[in-house]
Amino acid sequence: MTHFIEHLVFANRKLLVAIFALATLFLGFQASQMRLDAGFEKNIPLNHEYMQTYIEHRKDFGGANNILVSVCDKNGNIFNTNFFDTLKNVHDQLFFINGVNRSLVVSLFSPSTRFTEIVEGGFAGGPVIPADFNSQSQDALDLVAANIEKANIVGRQVASDYSCAMVTAQLLDIDPQTGEPLDTLALAGELEKQLRGEFENDNISIHVIGFAKMIGDVADGAKDVLLFFAIAIAITAVMVYFFSRSIMLTVLPLLCSVIAVVWQLGLLTLLGFGMDPMSILVPFLVFAIGVSHGVQMINAVEKQAVSGIGAKRAAMSAFRSLLIPGGVALLSDTVGFMTLLVIDIGIIRELAITASMGVAVIILTNLVLLPVLMSFLKLDKNYVDKFAGKEGSHSRFWTVIAACSRKKPAIVILLVTAALFVFGHFQAQNMKIGDLHAGAPALHETSRYNQDTFLITDKYEVTVDYISILVETTPEACTSHSVMKAMDDFQWKMENVPGVQSAVSLASVAKIVNAGYNEGNVKWQVLPRNQQTLVQAISRVPTSSGLLNGDCSVMPIILFMEDHKAETISRVVDAVKVYRDEYETDDMKFSLASGPVGVMAATNEAVKAAQDPMMLYVFGAVIALCLISFRSIRATLVVVIPLYVVSVLAQALMTYLQIGLTVSTLPVIALGVGIGVDYGIYILSTKNSMLKQGATVQEAYLAALKERGSAVLFTGITLAIGVSTWVFSSLKFQMDMGILLTFMFVVNMLGAIIVLPALARVLWWNRNDPGA
């Protein structure tokens, strides 16, 4: 079979190169059409129970996709002409930005921002900013200041210290002009340009937060990826040259790997996908994996060429010996990434498709194209001489390492590994799900976006961290005292749950309105039992308040949270599940959940639920492929056990570094396992065939090390250096992924070189050198 393919490939090698060149041209063109593409819904588990509730009701209550714009006066006092003019302009500008739900733009200037006061005859009231407002007049500014206090909006629409005022808006999911899903990145760009760009100056600062802005900033940060890509290519080139001592042998694997990336991007565009900023790292990985397999290839060619058989025959021989192990390794990478498809979150699925496609492409570019290209080289005597003598020093090094497969070292290694595993296992139990830090987790704390978030949560009493529990009941239910009392009691119990800062619902607002109808007397701050009185109180609350739908059959209870740490979220969600049992009837359900924290709760639960199946499938795939290719349970065990230990240690590292398991870190372990298995497969493919021929463990291992060891060592280091540069990324999640992948690449490599032989020594107990 291999021979047939080998013949087919090398007999038509010029044609093959031409086909590859054409395909690269075509896909390269496609790749140049690639667009960045981000959507809110891709980041959430749409089929999760909570998200079903969210989707069902978001027409009435808006989504979790909103924008907060805080306009701040740098002198700390908003009551001046310039500030109010700017605020009005920001309001108007935001209103006209495409994608903004115009009925839900709220600021001091919106007519719905009103005050009411109690006078002897009843109520008096009006808009906070009167229609004839003249920002030039000090009297008008004083009047607005008084109205703001009466309207009770300090802390929400106006900063508690009167240094800022807020404009809020909800975003549409569908672009009303095109009918297509909203282009979030374009909107983010508009916000930056039309709000911050226009209005920020020496007197005014503009602070914008919300998912759309966040993802826009992530996309900007993701553009740095090009720089990292360049750095990674440079480092890799130097390393490969150091390894191959030949410019051509440096250029070819890099070229083939770049071709793999081009193909991957082109195919992605062809399939109609865009590149999401959150999975911008995949091309990196594809390149790194391509190089690692390319290095195996040049290593094999070099080993053959040194014996002086010429480039073409060396390339053919390398092709023959690496097609199976390389193919298996890449196939297990592909399958490993494909397992991520089981996770019902759009962005992870996209990552799975992007990554598995990229890796599958490497089979063609680096296992087929690369040896074909190398067969055209002239590996002259000069080249061969460079390696003369090098083999000897390598041999000595590998002989030392080969001691790992002797009895005493093997037992020590296995004991240490077992101890690490136990330690890692207990650490991994403490791994947290979700975001562990305040602000947007994808970005650093020092980023403008997170600084803006901190400023807004500091200056206002609002928080972007809220969860809505939707009370689903019968039409006109808000006129029923018992329904409203159940909501009110439930809300009070939830307010008493640690982590909940405050809460609001139609019931709690109705109580305040009722006090208002009774001369503002706090003693009347109750839900009236009299239905007419209750209706009178509720009729003051418009549906635009987001506290009830048109026929008040659905009413959210909004809980404002102290933070969005996973522990806080799960404590609150658990409390909801306990308390709602007391109040739910056939006609009244308390459904989780909406609001940004509701989305996080669903995502956390989906991620948590996905973790075990994902590991199961990744390892299942790896085990199945090892069994098929090695046809040996022992061989499979020696590959898989070190992998598993390393993945547990990676979880322990996450606990230690306070990296939570999130949508962006969840795939890392699958990626790490998928790539980490390559080392073991390469080492073992030589070793296993030697063992099958009757060699002892020690002989087989030394032979494997001599043949593949330097390439494995080299690959691990190259991959690790490539991803470790991510530590300097402006994106926090990229940094986290960089740390974790570096760890997994290095430790998996060590596992394959050190733990694998020790395990083999024990598993093939009777197949050892005498005295080893």
Task: Give the shortest CB-77-to-another protein separation in angstroms.
Answer: 19
Smallest CA-to-CA distance from 210 within 69, 55, 62 is with 69
Alpha-carbon span 365 to 376, nearest angstrom: 16
Q: Please report the sign of the dihedral spanned by the C-alpha atoms of residue 440, residue 157, residue 497, residue 575.
A: negative
Angstrom CA distances, 673 to 89, 237, 354, 542, stand at 53, 25, 17, 54
Nearer to another protein, 133 or 644 (CB): 133
| CB of residue 496 to another protein, shortest distance in Å | 5
Q: Give whichever of 530 and 693 is closer to another protein, judged by the CB atom.
A: 530
What minimum distance in Å lies between the beta carbon of 438 and another protein? 23
Q: For residues 311 and 319, give the distance between their C-alpha atoms in angstroms, rounded to a whole number.
A: 12
Nearer to another protein (CB atom), residue 211 or residue 590 = 590
Q: Between 493 and 706, whose beta carbon lies closer to another protein? A: 493
CA-based torsion, 569, 575, 581, 583: positive or negative: negative
Phi, psi of 565 (to 5 degrees): -65, 150
- Residue nearer to another protein on the CB measure, 130 or 542: 130
Whole-number Cα distances in Å, 361 to 160, 327, 333, 681: 57, 11, 12, 19
Distance of closest approach, residue 117 Cβ to another protein, in angstroms: 7
> What would the two tokens of residue 233 be?
């290519």
First-to-last CA distance in the chain?
Answer: 38
Residues 694 and 675: their CA atoms lie apart, in Å, by 30
Of 41 and 495, nearer to another protein (C-beta) is 495
Which one, 124 or 247, has the nearer CB to another protein?
Answer: 124
Residues within the interface to another protein (CB under 8 A):
117-120, 149, 489, 492-493, 495-496, 498, 519-526, 528-530, 533
Q: How far is the CB of 533 from another protein (least distance, A)?
A: 8
Instruction: In angstroms, give the least distance from the CB of 156 to another protein.
Output: 14
- Of 380 and 461, which CB lies nearer to another protein in the complex structure? 461
Which strand (E) or helix (H) includes residue 648?
Answer: helix 633-656
**Closest CB 75 distance from another protein, rounded Å:** 23
CB of 652 to another protein, least distance (A): 35
Identify which of 707, 711, 611, 718 has the alpha carbon closest to the alpha carbon of residue 668. Answer: 611
Q: Are 681 and 195 in contact (CB under 8 A)?
A: no
The residue among 427 and 501 lying less far from another protein, judged by its C-beta, is 501
Nearest 5°: the CA angle 169, 734, 356 is 105
Vertex 651 angle, CA 646 and 652, to 5°: 90
Distance in angstroms (rounded) separating the CA atoms of residues 587 and 554: 11
Instruction: CB nearer to another protein: give 363 or 503.
Output: 503
Question: CB-wise, 412 or 578, nearer to another protein?
Answer: 578
Q: Shortest gap between Cβ of 493 and another protein (angstroms)?
A: 6
Q: How far is the CB of 519 from another protein (least distance, A)?
A: 5
Nearest C-alpha neighbor of 100 from the set 53, 68, 146, 143: 68
Strand partners, 661: 433
Residue 368 tokens read as: 């087929």
Shortest approach of another protein to residue 574 CB, angstroms?
Answer: 16
Min dist CB 453 to another protein, Å, is: 24
Task: Please name the residues in contact with 517: beta carbons below 8 A apart, sequence gap of 6 or more.
Answer: 524, 533, 536, 537
Cβ closer to another protein: 588 or 711? 588
- What Cα–Cα distance (Å) separates residue 745 from each residue in 281, 646, 729? 16, 10, 19
Distance CA 217, CA 104 (A): 24
Cβ distance to another protein smaller for residue 470 or 534: 534
Nearest residue (CB) to another protein, 147 versus 768: 147
Shortest spacing between CB 471 and another protein, in angstroms: 19
Output the smallest distance, CB 484 to another protein, in A: 14
Q: How far apart are CA 25 and CA 20, in angstroms?
A: 9
Do 326 and 296 contact (CB within 8 A), yes or no? yes
Output the CA–CA distances (angstroms, integers) from residue 106 to 59, 91, 212, 474, 665, in the order listed. Answer: 18, 8, 18, 30, 36
